Amino acid sequence: MHQTRLTIVIFVLGLVQCVALILIALTPLPDNTSGLPHALYNGMRIGGDGAARFLPIAALAYWFQVVVIAQIHCMIALAVKPARRSKLFWGLLTACFGVAVYAWTGLIASYEDFLATAETHMVAGFPVAASWLVYSIWLAGLGLVALYVLGFKRYVWSDDDQRAFEVLVKQTRNSQ
C-alpha cells in the first residue's frame, strides 16, 4: 500500500510538472526576446532585458524546480523497502529536501534581486546568484549522498539481504 501511495504522489508531481511547462509555453513572449542587433557586429545580438524575459515565468520556473526536487526525493524513498522507511529515514530525507529547496530559493532570489537592481556583490569570486549555483546547488545534494552512504546497510541492502542473495546464488548454481 505504501508503494502505491508513493507512486501516486510521484505521478501527481509529474502531472504538475507538465502543467507548469504548458503554462510556461503559453506565456506570451515579451518584445525583443531574441535580442537586439549589435551596433558593430553583424549577426551578433545583444541580450535585451533579462527581467522582461524571466520575470513573467519566474514563479512557474521556481515551483517547477521545487516539484522536481520533491519528485527526486520521492523516487529515492520509493527505492527503499517500505518496512525500512522509518521516522528517522523520513526525517533525514525531509531535511535533504529542505536544504535543496533552500539552495534553489537562494539562487532564484539572488537572481531576481540582480534583475531588479542590476547590482550584485561578489562571493568567493562569483556574483551572488552564480555563487549559489556553484557552491550551494551541488552541495545540497551531498545530504542525499551521505544518507545513501551512511544508511546503506539500514535502508538499501542489509546483511540479511546479502545472506538471502548468497543463498539464491547457491541454489541457482546447484540447480544447473
pTM for the complete prediction? 0.84
10-46: per-residue pLDDT in tens? 999 999 999 999 999 999 887 777 777 888 888 887 7
Q: Residues 6-15: contacts with CB within 8 Å, 24+ apart?
A: 6/74, 6/77, 6/78, 7/78, 9/74, 10/71, 10/74, 10/75, 10/78, 13/67, 13/70, 13/71, 13/74, 14/71
75-88: per-residue pLDDT in tens? 999 989 988 999 99
117-163: per-residue pLDDT in tens? 888 888 888 898 889 989 998 899 999 999 999 999 999 898 998 99
